[in-house]
């Protein structure tokens, strides 16, 4: 899961006024600029039109500028109220516009929205630059920090601390010359990320593998074949069937596809989608962005971008991240080699003694091996994983048992797509707590992957309840048929809902500190922990029911299926480790050492070889050329956080097991000490307050992974 933060600390100078010129809609004309009359203040998508966005951005930016100008012009001594709180409130209108717009560019990006985004991103980057380097504004913030930090308490003190630190980390203490360079770097990175997002989506959409004959799809289920037909139709019908490429390196359909040559084509389409061998080449963007990030770190006084980026996380330093990764690699490598050998030997039983296992064969023969040893397959269990049952009887049921939450569907709130649903969330006392929306089905206008975000963050200051949404990329069954999930998709729904809980159960004064506003290597913990509920017997039995009969999954099938979760687990860990090490390798470079676009593929190979992870059988989950978390999202030098937070999640799950996995008192304790707190305190202290541990214990991760 990647969470995309679209809230930008913003400001604008008078120099932007000309760029923002032209006729502006009035606030009463534009639905994006009005306080919504809908429940929760939800955006009214029945009224919002594409032509509303640009005027809304211009007006909201101007409103932010006016607010900032007022802070700077204040002749009174700087105080928490007239400076820090005023700054906190300065972008409220723009925040509303940004959240709506970027929710759509992620989940339903039309060509029209893409064109608007190209114009909006530079405006917001200029705005962020101007806020970051506004000396009079920072001087007032610093005055408050110097005079009031020791006397303030609670969330007021934390808000002051984070506001001051944000300005310092963005370069407020730099010389004028370095400030100007930092502004240029920020603007160029913004442009490159825009280019990356457009190019990668286009590359992935065009990496589709066309199939002329149904018999070439032998091994796939009828539902999968029907989906291939539907995907072909939605992409112009060049052939009767199409296999679309998902965001990861490996492709789920390779598990069952009998046609080896077609498996090869699908795998090659995945890994070559944007590596320079075809029309779409992202390496030039990668190289330039890596160089700019390295220079950014150097401007701030660090040897590289990783050192700069990690300072504000739980890990703190690249050295600590590498120590963590090396300990996992040492334990993982022998298991991975043995796993590969076992799969190849199994394949040779049917394919001959000279058969050489290729990466596009691995899922296929591993599934057959699992079928032989455990007698279980995706096709056998998918009828028990109806998406509606997984959501209502699984995801929601677990939240009810542990946190006392109940959910009521709301059909009176317009949403941005017909596939989307909305649910009002109530706490154990029946009090309205949040609005939860979900958008689970894939479409060509949606980027790959799964994520959580919100149309509004919780804030006592604004009396705002959270409006949170989850987005996934599950295949939607044809009309009248159930949409059935794989186990991976089931756990993805639980994962993203863990993020949603972090947002919905927030109880903070300030939106800046609420919900998921935490360090990267903490934010994935609630989501990874929430995955553990998917396999708890009471929860599993409640949702894993046959879509036709409603019968629970038979005990013997359930036992085999749950055993299969940790069947040959080295691949999943290895692909994550490899991607993590690629991310770190790129961001440990000095600006002068960043390879050119032509050298990027070789750099990737060398980086993996150096850490012992250059394994054609277990490639990175994302290769450099389509690593969206790193080049298009907020996980630069931060992808390690998925493994780091998995350790935290395992430790927390152990506490739940000790006290009772579904014990409401434990859920209440976890909510009070962690989920409700946002970033109002020290993250390690929150972890310790709940677990009683001074430090996370990584020893449980290998065991939990089945290794």
Question: Active-site residue numbers?
Answer: 496
Q: Which residues contact 74 (CB under 8 A, 6 or more apart)?
A: 82, 83, 140
Which of 84, 196, 212, 72 is CA-nearest to residue 148? 84
Own/partner long-range contacts of 650-657 (Cβ < 8 Å, ≥24 apart): 650/700, 650/701, 650/704, 651/687, 651/691, 651/693, 651/696, 651/697, 651/700, 652/525, 652/529, 652/687, 652/690, 652/691, 653/529, 653/532, 653/704, 654/700, 655/690, 655/691, 655/692, 656/532
Q: What are the angstrom distances between the C-alpha of 337 and each of 255, 257, 614?
A: 20, 24, 12
Distance (Å, whole) CA 677 – CA 683: 10
Q: Which two tokens stand for residue 598?
A: 């032509």
Please measure the distance between the N-terminal and C-terminal CA atoms of the chain and give it in whole angstroms. Answer: 23
Which of 562, 385, 357 is CA-nearest to residue 475? 385
Distance (Å, whole) CA 530 – CA 496: 8
**Helix, strand, coil proportions of the chain in percent (round to 5)?**
60, 5, 35
Q: What are the angstrom distances between the C-alpha of 226 and each of 251, 419, 477?
A: 17, 19, 8
Distance (Å, whole) CA 476 – CA 482: 8
228 phi/psi in degrees, rounded to 5: -60, -40
Burial class for 137, CB neighbours closer than 10 Å (0-12, 13-18, 19+): buried
Give the length of the chain.
707
What is the full DSSP assignment across 118-170? HHHHHHHHHHHHHHHT-HHHHHHHHHHHHHHTTT--HHHHHHHHHHHHHHHHH
Burial class for 348, CB neighbours closer than 10 Å (0-12, 13-18, 19+): middle
Distance (Å, whole) CA 201 – CA 260: 27
Q: What are the angstrom distances between the C-alpha of 49 and each of 55, 60, 190, 194, 572?
A: 11, 17, 25, 22, 42
Helix (H) or strand (E) holding 241: strand 241-243
Q: Which two tokens stand for residue 33?
A: 């600029």
Distance (Å, whole) CA 579 – CA 613: 10
213 phi/psi in degrees, rounded to 5: -120, 140
């Amino acid at each position: 899961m990647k969470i995309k933060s679209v809230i930008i600390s913003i400001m604008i100078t008078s120099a932007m006024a000309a760029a923002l010129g032209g006729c502006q809609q009035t606030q009463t004309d534009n639905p994006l600029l009005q306080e919504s009359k809908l429940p929760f203040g939800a955006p009214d998508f029945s009224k919002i039109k594409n032509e509303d966005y640009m005027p809304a951005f211009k007006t909201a930016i101007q409103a932010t500028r006016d607010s900032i100008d007022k802070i700077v012009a204040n002749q009174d001594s700087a105080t928490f109220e007239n400076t820090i709180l005023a700054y906190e409130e300065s972008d409220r209108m723009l925040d509303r516009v940004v959240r709506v717009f970027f929710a759509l560019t992620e989940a339903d990006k039309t060509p029209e929205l893409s064109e608007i985004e190209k114009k909006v991103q530079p405006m917001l980057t200029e705005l962020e630059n101007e806020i970051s380097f506004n000396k009079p504004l920072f001087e007032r913030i610093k005055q408050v920090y110097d005079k009031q930090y020791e006397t303030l308490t609670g969330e007021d003190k934390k808000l002051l601390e984070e506001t001051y630190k944000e300005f310092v980390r963005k370069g407020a203490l730099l010389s004028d010359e370095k400030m100007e360079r930092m502004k240029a770097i920020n603007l160029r990175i913004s442009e490159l990320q825009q280019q990356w997002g457009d190019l990668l989506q286009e590359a992935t959409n065009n990496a589709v593998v066309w199939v002329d004959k149904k018999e070439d799809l032998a091994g796939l289920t009828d539902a999968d074949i029907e989906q291939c037909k539907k995907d072909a139709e939605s992409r112009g019908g060049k052939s009767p069937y199409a296999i679309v490429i998902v965001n990861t390196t490996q492709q789920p359909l390779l598990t069952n596809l009998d046609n080896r040559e077609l498996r090869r084509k699908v795998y090659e389409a995945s890994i070559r989608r944007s590596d320079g061998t075809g029309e779409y080449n992202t390496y030039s963007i990668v190289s330039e962005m890596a160089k700019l990030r390295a220079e950014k770190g150097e401007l701030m006084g660090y040897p590289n971008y990783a050192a700069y980026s990690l300072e504000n996380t739980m890990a703190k330093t690249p050295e600590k991240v590498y120590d963590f990764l090396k300990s996992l690699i040492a334990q993982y490598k022998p298991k991975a080699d043995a796993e590969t050998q076992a799969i190849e030997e199994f394949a040779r039983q049917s394919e001959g003694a000279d058969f050489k296992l290729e990466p596009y064969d691995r899922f296929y023969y591993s599934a057959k091996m699992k079928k032989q040893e455990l007698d279980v397959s995706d096709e056998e269990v998918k009828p028990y994983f109806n998406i509606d049952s997984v959501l209502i009887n699984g995801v929601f049921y677990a939240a009810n048992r542990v946190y006392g939450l109940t959910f009521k569907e709301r059909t009176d709130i317009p949403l941005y797509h017909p596939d989307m649903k909305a649910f009002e969330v109530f706490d154990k006392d029946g009090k309205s707590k949040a609005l939860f929306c979900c958008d689970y089905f894939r479409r060509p206008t949606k980027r790959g992957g799964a994520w959580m975000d919100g149309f509004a963050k919780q804030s006592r200051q604004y009396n705002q309840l959270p409006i949170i949404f989850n987005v996934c990329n599950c295949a939607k069954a044809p009309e009248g048929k159930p949409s059935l999930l794989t186990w991976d998709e089931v756990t993805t729904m639980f994962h993203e809902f863990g993020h949603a809980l972090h947002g919905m159960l927030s109880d903070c004064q300030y939106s800046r500190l609420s919900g998921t506003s935490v360090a990267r290597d903490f934010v994935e913990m609630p989501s990874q922990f929430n995955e553990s509920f998917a396999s708890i017997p009471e929860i599993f039995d409640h949702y894993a029911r046959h879509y036709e009969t409603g019968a629970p999954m038979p005990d013997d099938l359930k036992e085999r299926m749950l055993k299969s979760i940790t069947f040959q687990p080295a691949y999943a860990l290895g692909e994550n480790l490899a991607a993590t090490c690629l991310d770190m390798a790129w961001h440990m470079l000095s600006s002068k050492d960043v390879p050119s676009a032509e050298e990027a593929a070789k750099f990737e190979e060398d980086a993996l070889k150096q850490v012992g992870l250059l394994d054609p059988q277990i490639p990175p989950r994302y290769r450099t050329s389509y690593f969206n978390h790193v080049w298009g999202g907020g996980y630069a030098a931060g992808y390690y956080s998925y493994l780091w937070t998995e350790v935290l999640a395992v430790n927390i799950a152990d506490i739940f097991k000790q006290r009772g996995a579904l014990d409401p008192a434990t859920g209440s304790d976890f909510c009070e000490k962690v989920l409700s707190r946002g970033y109002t305190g020290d993250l390690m202290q929150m972890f310790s307050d709940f677990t009683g541990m001074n430090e996370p214990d990584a020893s449980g991760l290998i065991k939990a992974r089945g290794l």
